[in-house]
């Protein structure tokens, strides 16, 4: 019934949006509000599903065309189905639906001088993704020919792991993410850095289990994410490598601490991204960099500390030493961002004058980032 509600509701939204916008009866804001209400009404009441729903509702505020809203809803449906996939076919179809929506949004939202760069980055992502997905599809076909089953249980899952690591932007399969971060609009950048990661890690935690170690990818991601940011002339490229470093920490949580710690640090990361790309006040931007750097008293410090605590508890000392070393390396360019924005002259640090909804969002994220340590410090004082 949920699948029928999703498909029927989306069809009605498409017809309503096309007819209403053509005749001028309603504005795009009304269409967006109806889309947000539809998302809330049809989403299952599981915690991860509801978190993805709320995140998508927030992200809808950043898109200002009906086509973009439509593809964002299609991507949401793919993500929601993928989080509960039980066989290889459903996983593959839902994952590629999400990829297709991202590629189309890159072309739709490209504006001005960055149009060619955005399309070029989207084509790189599409071609690389098609190559990895084609190899995975061939392997799925070979497994079906050998076993006669498409269930994930009891199957060799190396190619699923490889596809997921590519979609997450894990090093050394990360260059597409650096290109996209540097060329796509800010609204799409905010979407790409939050919703796909939440859906992929939720699928990892709830529907898929494997026996492979991701220690090599953790080391690659943390070292490349920490060292690659040095010398980057553009701020977006710097934060692209920062995201690769954060993905390495999230994989370290999966490897050593478990999914509870993963969701904790992932939640802090998503809140920081929402705050980071919705600010115009440069000093608040610098405070977000403080949290990403893992400096107290913000939530980012306690999220990383808990991961390190669990890594030490399971005696993963090599991964812990590499993570601490890379965290110290990343402090250098984070401190550079903090110095650049915090010490900016008053006339260049624009005050925040966003829309009421945007002001409410940034205020809520700032409060969460500042007061989350009250809850995260508990494991260290028991």
- Global pTM reads 0.86
Helices (H), 169-298: 175-181, 186-192, 195-206, 215-227, 235-252, 259-276, 282-293
Q: What per-residue confidence (pLDDT) applies to 368? A: 66
What does residue 211 show for φ and ψ, rounded to 5 degrees? -110, 10
Other beta carbons within 10 Å of 66: 18
Cα gap 325→323, rounded to integer Å: 5
Band the pLDDT of 154: cuts 50, 70, 90.
low
pLDDT digits (tens, 9 = 90+) for 132-151: 888 888 888 888 888 888 78
Cβ–Cβ under 8 Å, residues 70 and 94: no
Structure tokens at 26: 């309603």
Q: Which helix (H) or strand (E) holds 56?
A: helix 47-60
Question: Does position 279 have pLDDT exceeding 50, yes or no?
Answer: yes
pLDDT digits (tens, 9 = 90+) for 50-100: 888 888 888 888 888 888 888 888 898 889 888 888 888 888 888 998 888
User: Please, which residues bridge with residue 87 across strands?
Assistant: 151
| CB burial string 219-230: b at 16+ within 10 A, e below | bbbbbbbbebbe
Other beta carbons within 10 Å of 377: 16
Cβ–Cβ under 8 Å, residues 133 and 96: yes
In three-state secondary structure terms, 170 is: coil
Q: What per-residue confidence (pLDDT) applies to 380? A: 43
Q: Can you give the length of the chain in residues?
A: 382
Cα gap 243→256, rounded to integer Å: 20
Band the pLDDT of 318: cuts 50, 70, 90.
very high
The closest alpha carbon to 253, from 172, 334, 197, belongs to 197
Q: What per-residue confidence (pLDDT) applies to 252? A: 93
């Amino acid at each position: 019934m949920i699948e029928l509600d999703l498909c029927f509701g989306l069809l009605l939204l498409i017809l309503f949006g096309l007819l209403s916008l053509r005749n001028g009866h309603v504005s795009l804001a009304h269409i967006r509000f109806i889309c947000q209400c539809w998302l809330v009404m049809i989403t299952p009441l599981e915690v991860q599903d509801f978190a993805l729903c709320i995140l998508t509702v927030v992200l809808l505020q950043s898109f200002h065309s009906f086509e973009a809203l439509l593809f964002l809803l299609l991507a949401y449906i793919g993500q929601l189905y993928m989080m509960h996939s039980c066989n290889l076919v459903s996983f593959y179809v839902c994952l590629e639906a999400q990829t297709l929506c991202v590629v189309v949004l890159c072309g739709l939202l490209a504006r001005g001088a960055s149009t060619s760069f955005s399309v070029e980055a989207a084509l790189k992502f599409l071609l690389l993704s098609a190559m990895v997905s084609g190899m995975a599809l061939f392997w799925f076909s070979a497994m079906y020919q050998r076993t006669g089953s498409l269930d994930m249980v009891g199957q060799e899952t190396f190619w699923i792991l490889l596809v997921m690591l590519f979609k997450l932007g894990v090093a050394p399969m990360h260059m597409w993410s650096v290109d996209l971060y540097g060329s796509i609009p800010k609204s799409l950048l905010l979407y790409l850095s939050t919703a796909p990661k939440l859906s992929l890690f939720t699928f990892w935690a709830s529907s898929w289990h494997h026996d492979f170690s991701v220690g090599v990818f953790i080391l690659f991601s943390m070292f490349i994410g920490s060292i690659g940011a040095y010398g980057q002339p553009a701020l977006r490229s710097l934060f692209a490598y920062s995201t690769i470093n954060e993905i390495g920490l999230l994989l370290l949580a999966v490897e050593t601490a478990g999914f509870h710690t993963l969701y904790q640090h992932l939640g802090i990361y998503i809140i920081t991204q929402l705050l980071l790309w919705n600010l115009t006040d440069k000093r608040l931007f610098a405070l977000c960099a403080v949290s990403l750097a893992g400096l107290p008293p913000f939530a980012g410090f306690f999220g990383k500390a808990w991961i390190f605590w669990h890594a030490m508890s399971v005696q993963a000392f090599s991964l812990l030493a590499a993570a601490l070393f890379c965290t110290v390396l990343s402090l250098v360019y984070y401190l550079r961002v903090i110095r650049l924005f915090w010490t900016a002259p008053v006339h260049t640090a624009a005050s925040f004058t966003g829309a009421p909804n945007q002001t409410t969002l940034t205020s809520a994220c700032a409060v969460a980032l500042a007061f989350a340590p009250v809850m995260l410090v508990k494991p260290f004082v028991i």
